Amino acid sequence: MRIIARFEKGEAVRFVSHLDIQRTFQRAFRRANIPLAYSQGFNPHPQLSFATALALGYTSEAEWFDVKLAEDMAPERFQEAVNAVLPTGFRILEAQAAEEKLPALTALMAASSHEVDFILPVSLSAESVISAFDAMAGGEIFVEKRTKGGMKTVDIRPMLLHYSFSQTADSLKLSVFGVSDAKGSLNIDLLLGALSDKIPGEFSYRVHKNTIYSLDGRVMPQKPVFAC
């Protein structure tokens, strides 16, 4: 059977790399005695795939994996059994049985939302960050992107679907909706790097991924319509 699950990557494990997460789940499945299905062939491996690779240092409540089991198992029981053995920082938040013919997760996803928490030096006001961002979003946003053929300059503005700032006395948060599909995703680090180039003084930030959306609401929540 096929199970699709959403999990959280918390504070304690935000520096765990994508490759290491795959291993973490494989080991957790073995500890929990989950009957994994293995691929045929010379070097059999479990059929486990992830929707996206989260950038190092981010936290998230929208990580998704897709796994095949050799025997049927109630998704709730799967969730419970795996959560009982996962290391601190990882937790499955929902698990659902999926039909075999459902496309892969990467084919389903369409957009994602992130929340950015700014840590500003005293010399930098929240207002100046907001207005710089507004100005930047008013035109093209060129960034240097590493591709197979070397560094390339690309405009990432079309990937930015919507954004909004929220501000309190001691915090500045940005929520960003961006394209995230099989062809590519809005890179938050590059976006903020471009912002940083337009601002005097250095800021740092923390990123949390909130949601991955699908186009039609299958498996993941449906992508909202943005008027921007």
Minimum CB–partner distance for residue 183 and other proteins (Å): 28
Q: 44 vs 158, which CB is nearer to other proteins?
A: 44
d(CA 206, CA 201) in angstroms, rounded, equals 17
> Contact with other proteins (CB under 8 A): which of 41, 71, 72, 88?
88
The answer to whether residue 13 forms part of the interface with other proteins (CB under 8 A) is: yes
Minimum CB–partner distance for residue 226 and other proteins (Å): 30
d(CA 1, CA 6) in angstroms, rounded, equals 17
- Strand 150-155 and strand 204-214: pairing? unpaired
Q: Are the C-beta atoms of 28 and 69 separated by less than 8 Å?
A: no
* Residue count, binding to other proteins (CB under 8 A): 25
CA distances, 225 to each of 14, 96, 110, 156, 222 (Å): 30, 26, 12, 19, 9
The answer to whether residue 56 forms part of the interface with other proteins (CB under 8 A) is: yes
The answer to whether residue 22 forms part of the interface with other proteins (CB under 8 A) is: no
Query: What binding mask, one character per residue, do residues 184-223 give for other proteins by CB under 8 A, x or -?
Result: --------------------x-------------------
Q: 55 vs 154, which CB is nearer to other proteins?
A: 55
Minimum CB–partner distance for residue 213 and other proteins (Å): 27
> Contact with other proteins (CB under 8 A): which of 53, 107, 119, 135?
119
Candidates 26-34, 95-103, 158-166, 193-201; binding stretch for other proteins (CB under 8 A): 26-34
CA distances, 215 to each of 26, 92, 106, 110, 219 (Å): 29, 23, 11, 5, 10
> Contact with other proteins (CB under 8 A): which of 2, 8, 16, 154?
16
Contact set with other proteins (CB under 8 A): 12-13, 15-17, 19-20, 23-24, 26-31, 38, 44, 56-57, 85, 87-89, 119, 204
